[in-house]
Amino acid sequence: MNLTQEDWISQLVEDENSVILDVRTEDEYNDGIIPNAINIDIHKGQGFISELETLDKNKNYYVYCRSGARSAKACEIMNELGFENAYNLIGGILEWNGDIVSP
């Protein structure tokens, strides 16, 4: 599901069962992240899917990338794998107005 930054944040703040997932490359991740994000690079192909399979499907995932395109694809893949709640940040970290921290 695609969410605007405002909806993504307001839902995330209220969600005690949330995980923030950054699907950018390791280099992009190291340049700065949304606080508490974990990184699984969507470009790893099968490696990406293998790492997703280790995650708890009962949690709610707030997914972002640089602009929102890779994270939209990641959410589709997650839905196919049985994750019910994967939320894509429209506009990605490029349009993010909140804090950005070092990993």
Residues serving a catalytic function are 65
3-state helix, strand, coil in the chain (%, to 5): 40, 20, 40
Question: What is the rounded CA–CA span in Å between residue 79 and residue 36?
Answer: 22
Cβ pair 87, 63 in contact under 8 A = yes
Question: What is the rounded CA–CA span in Å between residue 56 and residue 67?
Answer: 26
CA 24 from chain center: how many Å? 9
